[in-house]
Amino acid sequence: MKVLVIGGVAAGTKAAAKLKREDRGLDVALITKDQDISYAGCGLPYYVGGMIESRDELIVNTPEKYAALTGVRVLTGREAVELDSGKKLVTAKNLITGETEAYSYDRLVIATGASSAVPPIEGVGLKGVFKMRTPDDAIRIRDYVEAERVKKAVVIGGGFIGLEVAENLLAQGVDVTVMDFASQIMPNVLDPEMADYAQRHLRKQGVRVLTGTKAEKLVGDARVTAVKTASATLPAELVVLSAGIRPNTAFLASSGIEMEKGAIVVDSQLKTNLPGVYAAGDCALVTNRITGRRQWSPMGSSANLEGRTLAQVLAGKEKTYPGVLGTGVVKLPGLNCGRTGLTEAQAKEAGYDVVTVLAVTDDKAHYYPDAAFFATKLIADRKTHKLLGMQVFGPGAVDKMVDIAVMAINMGAVLEDFENADFAYAPPFSTAIHPFVQAVYILLNKINGDLVSMTPAEYAAGAADGYRVIDVAPAPSIRGATFVDLASVNGEIPGIGRDEKLLLVCVRGKRGYFLQNRMKYYGYKNTVVLEGATSFNDVKVKNAQAAVPPAEVTRVKGLGFLFDKRTQDRFNGRVITRNGKITAEESRAIAQAAELYGSGEIAMTSRLTVEIQGVPFDNIEPLREFLAQNGLETGGTGSKVRPVVSCKGTTCQYGLIDTFALSEEIHERFYHGYHDVKLPHKFKIAVGGCPNNCVKPDLNDLGIIGQRIPQVDLEKCRGCKVCQVENTCPIKVAKVRDGKVVIDDSICNHCGRCVGKCPFKAVEAHQDGYRVYIGGRWGKKVAQGKYLDKVFTTKEEVLNVVEKAILLFREQGNTGERFADTVARLGFENVQEQLLSNQLLERKQENLSAQKHMKGGATC
């Protein structure tokens, strides 16, 4: 039997290889458009981020190696262009010779996969705009990021691949915006409240997320410079198109094969409506394992499974493909996300009587180092207790939670099947009662009526309106809520009526359940526990008049909002600018934000950020969302690298360097790039264009000053009685001695004013550079920074010194002390020696990953 396989990535190579193992005597040939076969498509984002170092690591098999291992004939560079199922003939174009070739078959496997869908946007052909589907795409993106020193990128598409690309660009120090036309990220993958949690997390990690936003145009002449939306123009030196994929089935248009939206319809044996023709992988439309309905699930995992099953079918075995669950897992910055089965919406659409729970549990023994959490949503049928789906977040091994759910759904398990399940336990791996079992217990309590709760989705939809919020945390944490000490409840609670509608909110949900249990015993009839509590939900008490709790003041300070101590709940929100420079469009957005969410007043800070005044606590998140939609962000507070300030540089008659370009590069590389790096105290950087020191670089933790070092040609000096060089020198360092002009380099501030002033060109040559000051400080205590002995001649040298200074401060600074204190304690010569060597950079990863438990010392 002659079997022809079209497509050489996952399903095609798996089917062909397995088929030859089933029957070595079969004639199996594989044709593919690409020169590569069997590449790791799911690993492409991690090549961009540098986690995978070389292209070779992405290639599972070369055509030659694969052919030798399997016995399959492999023909690359062949693009199928037509199928004649009556003649059992596939026509293909040889992409090397340009000739047309014909391939006959007894059985045909179509595994052509899918390609990136390019949205119809003006400017997609600009340089710097990429797709993400093949190894070459990933290589081009990483090369472009490195060669062009990309600092700002926009990823169009908020699915798995788009979010993975965003994470890996962030790891490369790129400021990333993700936009999606849908109302949420990962639509049809996560339920809305789960997607909202992920979006909030991404924003905290420095990834701007814009949903319900359409890219209208990519702006630029030869290369992309921005993405224009209906509400803003977002600067972008790189754009990655990840707005979905489409099956590669255009060549089948006249073949008579049955398709839906371009995907090939197959039965349980992956057979199409055409005789002898089968399909598998991203081009095939299979079924959902739970509902039996048709479902397109383009995943590398299911493609491999389909290919293997199809090979067994072709070999004559009684095998069927049961369908997909849409299982997936994605790594986000600092958070992993997994899912399988039906979403809540899909389960309801399928006719189930749906019940869900959101359970936040420990992911391992709470006392074990690096213990974190799982936020698990279980979806089940209320009548049968059958598990239908699950979604989970956590910094750790969410895949183990997903895999348990997959096996349960595959085997038709009901919730009771998990009771007393003897899963593996040891403190480094799990909790004594497995986190999945804990979530099941909570859902069973809800079904049985032992727990009366409100889901995050219900809370977000306003179901808590009319409820009095009871704060059950160990200490008061919800502004305007009534705090109840759980341990002290042994009867009626003073001031709380037994018939009141009460929403019990703690940190994760457990203490709320414990309080509800007690309150039921003491006659309280209308208590409801908020699932996920404050760790998952953004809990607000409407019209709260109480003061904002200290913990919340600290939290929002980290977002750039400083408490106005004259009020109970007003804050001044710092909007980050590029060294004080904003566009007219951004200025209008800030003014509108001030009117909508603040007092309508705007102030400038000494660090050239813009403060929106008088923002009520409850308006902080809406304000941040509004600013994000307009490409703006808040921040610039806390024990971190602060926004950079500089003078006007080359627009000043004394300017020696492009201060704005340098300060913006420092801002992107160290303010954004070191966004999550906590330091002993704030770290301020200033850039001055000349030694006039208008922005006081020597009074910052680190200052950079442009230099122009005059070089005297004594042979041309005529020792004039009236020396123009001497007259020009503003600090009177240039002197004529013994008939020659002399400039004392140890005193000269290198302002360059003397260059070109000698009519005989004795001071014509010069060396441009940068002087770096360290250990300056302005405020309660003043310290004059000292400059390093070396005058740096390249920008890269300066940027390396900046990074080494930050790393030294993190590694050797004590919590609460300013960099000036660190320099004084260690000694200037010691610090200078470290900054002029490369040992700090060699220890960079160890330094940044160290668990220092710094509290920081910045109060504003």
Tell me the domain boundaries of the chain.
Answer: 2-114+247-314, 118-243, 334-447, 454-536, 550-629, 638-703+769-860, 714-763
The least confident of 53-57, 570-574, 802-806 is: 53-57
pLDDT of res. 483: 95
What would the pLDDT profile of 490-519 be if each residue is shown by its tens digit?
Answer: 999 999 999 999 999 999 999 999 999 999
Query: Which among 277, 324, 235 has a CA at the least distance from the CA of 107?
Result: 277
CATH topology of domain 334-447: Enolase-like; domain 1 (3.30.390)
pLDDT confidence of residue 94:
95
Tell me what the mean pLDDT of segment 154-181 comes to.
92
Distance between CA atoms of residues 691 and 709, nearest Å? 12
At residue 527, what is the residue type?
T
For 472, the 3-state DSSP assignment is coil
Return the CATH fold of 714-763: Alpha-Beta Plaits (3.30.70)
From 3.40.50.720, 1.10.760.10, 3.90.420.10, 3.40.250.10, which CATH number describes the 454-536 domain?
Answer: 3.40.250.10
Dist. CA 544–CA 109, nearest whole Å: 64
CATH placement of domain 550-629: 3.30.70.2500
Helix 398-410 vs helix 435-448: angle between axes, to the nearest 10 degrees? 60
What lies within 8 Å, CB to CB, of 859 at 6+ separation is none
> Which DSSP symbol is given to 758?
-
CA 425 and chain centroid, separation: 32
d(CA 584, CA 660): 18
Q: From the centroid of its chain, how far is CA 132? A: 16
What b-and-e string marks burial along 502-516, b requiring 16 or more CB atoms within 10 Å of the CB?
Answer: bbbbbbbbbbbbbbb
Within this chain, domains 334-447 and 638-703+769-860 share the same CATH topology: no
Comparing 370-379, 580-589, 736-745, the range with the smallest average pLDDT is: 580-589
Q: Average pLDDT for residues 332-349, to the nearest whole number?
A: 96
**CB–CB of 238/141 below 8 Å?**
yes
Residue type at position 143: D
How many Å apart are CA 6 and CA 249, to the nearest integer?
A: 11
Closest to 135 measured CA to CA, from 43, 246, 28? 43
Strands 208-211 and 468-471: unpaired
Decide: 605 and 824 in contact? Cβ < 8 Å: no
Residue ranges in 449-583 assigned as alpha helix (H): 456-460, 510-521, 533-536, 550-557
Alpha-carbon distance 610 to 627, whole Å? Answer: 12
Q: What is the radius of gyration, based on Cα positions, of the chain?
A: 32
Cα dihedral value 253, 257, 262, 267, nearest 10: -170
Q: What is the pLDDT, as a whole number, of residue 42?
A: 80
673-697 burial, b for 16+ CB within 10 Å, e for fewer? bbbebbbbbbbbbbbbbbbbbebbb
**Among the listed residues 549, 510, 562, the one whose alpha carbon sits nearest the alpha carbon of residue 532:** 510
Residue 76, class by beta-carbon neighbours within 10 Å (0-12 exposed, 13-18 middle, 19+ buried)? middle
How does DSSP assign 686-725, residue by residue? EEESSTT-TT-GGGSSEEEEEEEEEE--TTT----SS-HH
Instruction: Assess whether pLDDT exceeds 70 at residue 322.
Output: yes
Number of helices (H) and strands (E), helices first, in the chain?
Answer: 23, 45
Q: CA 186: distance to chain centroid?
A: 14
Angle at 540 between CA 538 and CA 541, to 5 degrees: 160
Please give the structure tokens belonging to residue 161.
């691949």
CATH class (in words) of the domain with range 2-114+247-314: alpha beta
CATH of 638-703+769-860, one of 3.40.50.1970, 3.30.413.10, 3.40.50.720, 3.60.40.10: 3.30.413.10
pLDDT in tens, 663-677: 988 998 899 888 889
Among candidate residues 618, 608, 614, 613, the one with its CA nearest the CA of residue 642: 608
Structure tokens belonging to residue 268: 């349980």
Counting other chains too, the contacts that 752-758 makes at CB distance below 8 Å and 24 or more residues apart are: 752/656, 752/690, 752/707, 752/708, 752/709, 752/710, 753/654, 753/728, 753/729, 754/710, 754/725, 754/728, 754/729, 755/708, 755/710, 757/724, 757/725, 757/727, 757/728, 758/716, 758/717, 758/723, 758/724, 758/725
Say which DSSP state 495 is in: T
Order of strands across the sheet that contains 277-279: 73-76, 27-32, 2-6, 107-110, 277-279
Contact 7, 112 (CB under 8 A): yes
Tokens of 520: 């039921």
- Of the pLDDT bands very low, low, confident and very high (cuts 50, 70, 90), residue 579 is confident
In the chain, the percentage of residues whose pLDDT exceeds 70 is: 99
Q: Tell me: the pLDDT tens digits for 615-661? A: 999 899 999 989 988 888 898 888 999 999 998 766 788 889 999 88
Tens of pLDDT, residue by residue over 250-286, are 999 999 999 999 999 999 999 999 999 999 999 999 9
Mean pLDDT for the stretch of residues 71-83: 95
- 92-116 pLDDT, tens digit per residue, is 999 999 999 999 999 999 999 999 8
Instruction: Identify whether the C-beta of residue 590 lies closer than 8 Å to the C-beta of residue 546.
Output: no
3-class state of residue 572 by DSSP: strand
10 Å Cβ neighbour count for 545?
A: 9
Nearest to 768 by CA among 694, 690, 835: 690
- Per-residue pLDDT, 102: 96
Tell me the CA distances in angstroms from 253 to 267, 385, 753, one per residue in order: 20, 45, 74
| C-alpha span between 782 and 821 (Å, rounded) | 11
**Active site positions, annotated:** 42
CB 363 within 8 A of CB 371: yes
Looking at residues 415-424, what average pLDDT do you find?
Answer: 95
Binning pLDDT at 50, 70 and 90, where does residue 347 land? Answer: very high
Residue 56 has pLDDT above 80, yes or no: no
Task: Give residue-wise pLDDT tens across range 179-201.
Answer: 999 999 999 999 999 999 999 99
Q: What mean pLDDT comes out for the span 576-592?
A: 87
| Residues pairing with 668 in the sheet | none
Q: Is residue 73 within a helix (H) or strand (E), and if so which, with residue range?
A: strand 73-76
Token pair of 650, please?
A: 């080359």
The domain defined by 118-243 folds into: FAD/NAD(P)-binding domain (3.50.50)
